[in-house]
Structure 1
Amino acid sequence: MTVNKIFALSAVLATGLSYAHAQVPAAAATGGYDQHQAFNPVFYTQNGNEYRSAGGAPGPKYWQNRADYSISVTLDTAQHRVSGSVAITYTNNSPDTLSFLWLQLDQNIYREDSRSEAASPYGGGRFINRGATGGDEISAVTLVQRGKTQAADYSITDTRMKIRLPQALKTGAAVQIRINYAFNVPQYGTDRMGRLPSRNGWIYEIAQWYPRMAVYDDVLGWNTIPYLGASEFYLEYGNIDYSITAPADLVVVGSGALTNEAQVLTADQLANLERARTSDRTITVKDSMAILRHEHAGKDNLTWRFSCKNTRDVAWAASRAFIWDAARINLPGGKKALAQSVYPAEVAAAYAWGRSTEYVKGCIELYSDKWYPYTYPVATNVAGIVGGMEYPGIVFCSARSTRAGLWGVTNHEFGHNWFPMIVGSNERKYAWMDEGFNTFINDISTQSFNNGEYYRARDVGKTGPGLFAPNTDGIMNTPDVIQASQLGNMAYFKPGLALALLRDEVLGPERFDEAFQAYIHRWAFKHPTPWDFFRTMENVSGEDLSWFWRGWFLNTWKLDQSVKDVKYSDNNPAKGALVTIENLEQMVMPVTVSIKDVNGHADTVKLPVEVWQRGGTWTFHVETTAALSEVVVDPRSVLPDVNRANNTWKAK
């Protein structure tokens, strides 16, 4: 999902400098800093095992369960209602025998008696229900197990369904669950789904629209945290085949490949779509004039069929109002995919959605080249009521977005196809593992897209007071615990900034990129934990980063580096200067110091984080021939220092 602003993160270009280092005994730690906490040798409290290695990779006996779906529904535009059935084939690959199963019924968040409704602030917010529905209306639940079909023994608690199995599901066995259900589509679905009126009809964005399996993993067993709105999703992988029956004058788009194009598209649309598959320029598939005529005369409804492989979810959109355009995506190894956009005529201008497909194609090609090839056959951007929300191969972005705003939300939502669609982390608990990672890669792609057309560097040095404000929530909290005013900082900006600084200030781009790519490849279509990420980054980069994880992720420590004093050897500037710096708060980072002398000569000194291992002060020797005029810590303003007033020393 998106926030109002996708923050740009600063990158550092370090210059190599020659200086003489002399270790000077450190003074006692200042009151705000204790090196024993920052560099405590005990970080990982559990050893690696056969499921998850100490090096951060899946172990030799790593497992995860599988969920395959076959879904068939009808969209009733008169009643704004979706109804149909789902058949789930659930395979138990765990070493455990399962006597019951848990499913997620996300539509129940919209009930008046939902737990989310009771726990929502009175003042409202982005994830608040703005109109109740009946939630998931379940009319039948049956099981097919060992060739026998029978009614299921089930109970529903808020957004969760528990099914008690008549025969326990052993390792390697599968069971099929069949559910008949229906729900009314809310107009505002907590900014994740809904419907938007346009001059040519309603735009439906449909998500969390079928009962989905909860994850059973080697970390917690069943993951059954209720869906309250802010926390997103944790899902199993499998193949999903689904069909949408809708009025014949609607265009339907969805996750995966449309498998019956000839049955639902006109001859002109088919021809235009084929042109788009070989074009790097945007091709119109259905224009505004086609909206005004019924191109399937004599037919009341059409059934659109889709298939999405090795996916954790699917979503779709439908409208009579859609203009539709598309272009080819060029992927590594010569592979191709299709970028496409659907939007109402009201927002078709070149400064708005007229460039959407260009943005889709651009960001996906950049992410694929840099990190991991895009895995879905189609990438669809939908203009609608949702401000910004991501699903495999399809995203919902605000129809009101234009220019840099439309690039930003498109780039962000499609970045989620890497985190968490490819790397399947637990968003319900760790929002930063998708939002923060995604914010980080968004910045790199924005710097590259169209020669930086929309890139604006942010002065990170000015963000410290806000980022480390009193009573700030930490990154390692569930989104439902983080205060709404802090969610943008703690789920998006702070972890994204942390990764940027880890790359630019600690490891360097080469070592960071190798480790980050290894993490993505190791955990593609799997379920990593924060500790798997930490271990991978350390083992691949060859660096103990426990001090970094403590400072940025596990605590709400602040950063305050300062220049304490400047003296000269034997009081003679010609014999060199002794510069003393301080670490006044608990967070530690490497130090960059710029030095100027009275003759205008300038140098830059870079010190590793280890200078803080023996205390909060550090003195180093600089070869000089003249008195110094100025010493500045963090001269490029790339660290979120809470007090920049003490970063500079000037000669009196």
Structure 2
Amino acid sequence: MKQNLLFLTCLLLICSFTSAQNQNNPGSNHGNKFEQLGQMLQDPNTYRSASGAPGPQYWQQRADYDINAELDDARQRINGSETITYFNNSPDPLTYLWIQLDENQHDPLNDNNKINGSSIKNQMSAQDIQRIIGYNDDLGVKVLKVTDVKGTALKYTINRTMMRIDLPATLQPQTKIQFKINWYYNIPNRMTIGGRGGYEFFKEDGNYLYTITQWYPRLAVYSDFQGWQNKQFIGSGEFALPFGNFKVNITAPADHVIGATGECLNYQQVLPVSQFNRWKQAQTAKEPVEIVSLDEAKRAITGKATGKKTWRYSASNVRDFAFVSSRRLVWDAMATYIDGKKTMAMSYYGPEAYPLYRKYSTKVVAHTLKTYSKYTIPYPYPVAISVEAANGMEYPMICFNYGRAEKDGTYTEAVKYGMISVIIHEVGHNFFPMIVNSDERQWTWMDEGLNTFCQFLTEQEWDNKYPSQRGPAYKIVDYMKMPADQLEPIMTNSENIINFGPNAYAKPATALNILRETVMSRELFDYAFKEYARRWKFKHPTPTDFFRTMEDASAVDLDWFWRGWFYGTDPVDISIDNVRYFRMNTLNPTAEAPEDRKLYEKGLTDISRERNKAAGLKFEVEQDTSLLDFYNKYDRFEVSEAATKGFNEYYSSLDPEEKKVYDNKKNFYELSFSNIGGLVMPIILEWTFADGSKEVERIPAYIWRKNEDQVTKVFAKDKEVVSVTLDPYRETADINENNNSWPRRSEKSRFELFKQKKVTRGTSDGANPMRDSRRDRQQVD
């Protein structure tokens, strides 16, 4: 028993210490939420300044690639060789290099297949069972040899998704090394195994769509703030990569169409004359031009070429390279201009996506580039590509999205807006993290959260009625009101997040939108956010750099905001507890007598008096009038001449400033608030007055600095108030709106009587108004 008590005591002490680590004044109602982040941020140094900008001695590594790859369509295999030139720009001598082999994620022997829990459900799909059994496919990167440029073998060690190359001599600062890697891997079926890259097989026509990503051995990042980023790739935490220049030759079946990172150097050699002429036409087109038409794509599906073609690509100052290859692709393109510089916006898609992608995709790409450029930096690359591949993933200048129509060419509203949103999101990743190159393996929110915020801005500039799912504050409420054991701070490592979408995408996007609309102002936020992108374009920022830059460029102390939204899990729940109404006692007997009379008569009202009167009771003083005297007859509220004279003398004695206060005729309202949720936020009030007019008043979050739990504030109003509403525009993510009004009011809702319908599991009875409308028109015709 004593041992158990000792263990429990130690556990409580540990828990108390852990919860108090981020508190400056534990156990108090102040001195915690508004204290500076201090030791929670990285110390500034010569590489990263206290302002959030790169320091005077900032450095980063560089890796250039010269790659030759062949896509084996018969065996679904990539065969490749590459020459890597690695520049050591750091002050550190290096004795080894770390290479990422991300395709080893699919290796049956990799730990990635062991570390996730699993369970038996009442109904199990073949795919569910296969995941438990494991895949017998010969998957993962097969390294054939690693040599220096002279062909001398280099020693290497593969540890799951990472490969260490031991250098024959120390790579000194400000020097470079060249080496070669030969490799191949079997392309996985991403529709069954999962993953970001792979193939999709179309059984109806016997063809493949290849989305080739994380496909070549790639240098890991070596940085000033963590050394080598050699954390294993297990699926959720994405990629941290150095910038460099790429020359890539891709050999594929002659009837395949290829789209890739960078600019193709030999379109004239790989395209038929008619398609090359359309490509030239697209250079000045204001509407998308089909370089490969739908008819041409359909014809290519029916036949398979035996020859091969090699497409040559070049890309400068990018962190990665990806491509799509298939014979079943439509390809359209048009020019768009960012600050006078031309970028080719392009889309690749199969016939099943044509009704949606032909109408929207390339125009959405162009809109995204323009909007993101407005809020961050001008898009610097010559190409931006959207590929329909039934998924969503991003790489420099190319991304893979979803959006397929029904067989009759119709589509639902959900598919339409889902497609537009995913294109905006994935194209937007060109800015975060392809250019502002944060470490996704460590901090997913710096990539996904910032990008989702910009996605929201872009959606809203596409259509004022756009049904954005992430960004508006009220959309995050259901997540923030979840039990504490299902939540984690935004500042959580990517691999440890339970609710990945809400935590890494939606909550940081919401926080940034609240900063812009509610805390800082659009003008201050937009300037600071743009400054962050400008400072860290083509560099490797950390969360500290972002936090510091936003404050440095705006002169707004935001430590309380980062502490609450990014380092904590408390929700917003501010309550209006009480409202008290006051007005100044004028001491003017003429003005005060009517009010005094009402209060006196109110004091004479009780249930006994009312029932006695209703019962017709004969009171003694009514039966014996001799009992009545002066006090039964006089008007105690009659204003006497003496009282009037006394008031006039008092008023005359006031100095001008006192008279100004006296004459204000204000109504005073004392409001008491509670911070039930724990996350401090501004107090936003909508006052509704007796004449029907309204006023919105905003109180900064600093109102909570001396008492983080409760606050009382008095407001002076010219007009009488009939109601007060807290957070009227739902802009603070308050999880309980039932305590946001005075007087309290109940929310209206509805119910209906319905006839129960049984839907087969795995199917949907969702509406498709486009199809229904088309069917109705056909019936009329």
Q: Matched residue of 1:163: which SS? A: strand
Aligned partner of 2:713 in structure 1 is: 620
1:279 aligns with 2:281: no
In structure 2, the CA distance between the partners of 1:635 and 1:289, relative to structure 1 (3 Å rule), is closer
Determine whether 1:388 maps to 2:392.
yes
Counting matched residue pairs gives 612
Q: Is the 1:630–1:651 Cα contact (8 Å) retained in structure 2?
A: no
Q: TM-score w.r.t. structure 2 length? A: 0.75
Trace 1:458-607 onto structure 2 (pairs within 5 A). 460-461=473-474, 463-470=476-483, 471=485, 472-483=487-498, 486-569=499-582, 575-607=667-699
1:163 shift after superposition: 0.9
Assess, with a 3 A threshold, how the Cα gap between structure 1 residues 38 and 451 changes in structure 2: closer, same or farther. closer
Within the candidate set 320, 326, 330, 1:319 is matched to 326
Residue of structure 2 in register with 1:25 after alignment: none
**Is the 1:34–1:586 contact (alpha carbons within 8 Å) kept by the matching residues of 2?**
no
Looking at structure 2, the residues matched to 379 and 462 of structure 1 have their Cα atoms a distance apart, in angstroms, of 30
CA separation of 1:625 and 1:75: change in aligned 2, threshold 3 A: closer
What is the rounded CA distance, in whole Å, between the counterparts of 1:575 and 1:225 in structure 2?
Answer: 63
Aligned position for 2:430: 417
Displacement of 1:427 in angstroms is: 0.1
Could you list the per-position Cα deviations for residues 597-621 of structure 1 after superposition, in whole angstroms to 9, with x for gaps in the alignment? 3343432221111100110333323
2-side partners of 1:476 and 1:151: how far apart? 42
Structure of larger gyration radius: 2
Partner of 1:183: 185
Q: Which residue is equivalent to 2:32?
A: 37
Which has more strand, going by share of residues? 1
**Counterpart-to-counterpart distance in 1, 2:375 and 2:569:** 31
SS in 2 for 1:35: coil
Q: Distance in 2 between matches of 1:346 and 1:33?
A: 62
Task: Check whether the contact 2:452–2:470 (CA below 8 A) recurs between aligned residues.
Answer: no
- Report the counterpart of residue 69 of structure 1 in structure 2: 65
The 5 Å alignment of 1:377-456 reads 377-385=382-390, 387-400=391-404, 402-449=415-462
* 1:248-288 deviation line (CA, Å, top 9, x unaligned): 01111100000111110111111101111111101110113
Give the direction of change, closer, same or farther, for the CA distance of 1:298–1:393 in structure 2 (3 Å limit): closer
Q: Residues of 1 paired with 2:195 and 2:181: CA distance?
A: 26
- Larger mean Cα displacement after TM superposition, 448-457 or 515-524: 448-457
| Range moving further from structure 2, 549-558 or 444-453 | 444-453
What is the one-letter code of the residue matched to 2:735?
A: V
In structure 2, the residue matched to 1:302 is 309
How far 1:299 moved relative to its partner? 6.9
Deviation digits for residues 30-71 of structure 1 (CA, Å, limit 9, x no counterpart): x99833220123534543211000000000000001000010
- 3-state SS, counterpart of residue 85 of structure 1: strand
Structure 1's 122 and 455: CA in aligned 2 closer, same or farther, altered over 3 A? closer
Higher RCO (C-alpha under 8 Å, 6+ residues apart):
1
Identify which of 151, 154, 172 aligns with 2:153: 151
Q: Which residue of 2 aligns with 1:192?
A: 196
Q: Would the aligned equivalents of 1:465 and 1:641 in 2 still touch at CA under 8 Å?
A: no
The farther-off stretch of 211-220 and 578-587 is 578-587
* Structure 1 unaligned spans of 5+: 1-30
Q: 1:580 to 1:453 in 2, by over 3 A?
A: closer
Contact 1:191 1:389 in 2 (8 A): no
TM-score by length of 1: 0.89
Change (3 A) 1:300 1:506: same
The CA RMSD over aligned residues, in Å, is: 2.4
Q: 1:646 aligns with which of 731, 739, 754?
A: 739
The letter for the 2-side match of 1:226 is Q
2:103 aligns with 107
Question: Kindly tell me: are residues 629 and 389 of structure 1, through their superposed partners in 2, closer, same or farther at Cα, counting changes over 3 Å?
Answer: same
> Is 1:207 aligned with 2:213?
yes
Change (3 A) 1:368 1:624: closer
Q: Give the Cα–Cα distance (whole angstroms) in 2 for the partners of residues 440 and 538 of structure 1.
A: 18
Q: How far 1:454 sits from its partner (Å)?
A: 5.7
1:265 match: 271
Q: Percent identity?
A: 38
Amino acid at match of 2:87: T
Structure 2: segments with no counterpart, 5+ residues: 1-25, 120-126, 406-414, 586-664, 746-781
Give the CA deviation at 1:644: 1.7
Of residues 530-539 and 286-295 in structure 1, the stretch that sits farther from structure 2 once superposed is 286-295
- 1:558–1:571 CA distance, 2 compared to 1 (3 A): farther
Quick one: which of 235, 258, 271 aligns to 2:241?
235
Note the C-alpha offset of 1:571: 7.8
Deviates more, 1:525-534 or 1:632-641: 632-641
Distance 1:560 1:543 in 2: 24
Distance 1:528 1:468, change over 3 A: farther
Cα distance 1:519–1:462, how it changes in 2: closer, same or farther (>3 A)?
A: closer
* Residue 292 of structure 1: how far off its partner (Å): 5.1
Q: Which amino acid letter does the alignment assign opposite residue 156 of structure 1?
A: I
Shift of 1:475: 1.0
Give, in whole Å, the separation in 1 of the partners of 2:220 and 2:529.
Answer: 28
CA distance in 2, matches of 1:204, 1:100: 34
Alpha-carbon separation, structure 1, partners of 2:694 and 2:293: 61
Q: Is the 8 A contact 1:73 1:85 kept in 2?
A: yes
Aligned to 2:752: none
Residue identity opposite 2:348 in structure 1: V
| Structure 1 position 293, deviation (Å) | 5.0
- SS of equivalent residue, structure 1 residue 576: strand
Match of 1:579, SS state, is strand
Write the mapping of 1:367-378 to structure 2, written as runs, cut at 5 A.
367-378=372-383
CA-to-aligned-CA distance 1:187-237 (integer Å, 9 cap, x gap): 116341121223552110000000000111011111111000011000000
Question: Mapping of 1:116-155 within 5 angstroms?
Answer: 116-122=112-118, 131=135, 132-144=137-149, 149-155=151-157
Residues 578-587 or 287-296, more deviating: 287-296
**How much has 1:568 moved relative to structure 2?**
2.7
1:84-95 alignment runs, 5 A limit = 84-95=80-91
User: Which residue identity is paired with 1:371?
Assistant: T
Cα distance in 2 for partners of 1:588, 1:292 equals: 59
Q: CA deviation at 1:622?
A: 2.2
CA distance in 2, matches of 1:651, 1:111: 60
Q: Displacement of 1:460 after TM fit?
A: 3.2
Give the superposition deviation at 1:577: 1.7
Cα contact 1:32–1:584 (8 A) shared by 2: no
Contact 1:38/1:586 (CA < 8 Å) preserved in 2?
no
Q: How far 1:122 moved relative to its partner? A: 2.2
Q: Does the aligned pair in 2 maintain the 1:560–1:585 contact within 8 Å? A: yes
Equivalent of residue 727 in structure 2, options 624, 627, 634: 634
Q: 1:120, 1:590 → 2: CA distance? A: 41
Does the Cα contact within 8 Å between 2:239 and 2:440 map onto a contact in 1?
A: yes
Q: Could you tell which deviates more after superposition, 164-173 or 555-564?
A: 555-564
**Distance (whole Å) between structure 1 residues aligned to residue 263 and residue 357 of structure 2:** 26
Report the Cα offset of residue 115 of structure 1. 1.5
Does the 8 Å contact 1:191/1:388 carry over to 2?
Answer: no
Offset of 1:564 from its aligned partner? 1.8
In the TM superposition, what is the alpha-carbon distance from 1:399 to its structure 2 partner? 4.8
CA distance in 1, matches of 2:336, 2:85: 33
Instruction: Determine the C-alpha separation between the residues in 1 that align with 2:371 and 2:697.
Output: 34
Letter in 1 for 2:70: T
Q: Which moved more, 1:402-411 or 1:108-117?
A: 402-411
Alpha-carbon shift at residue 298 of structure 1 (Å) = 8.8
Shift of 1:540: 0.4
- Which shows bigger deviation, 234-243 or 148-157? 148-157
Amino acid at match of 1:473: E
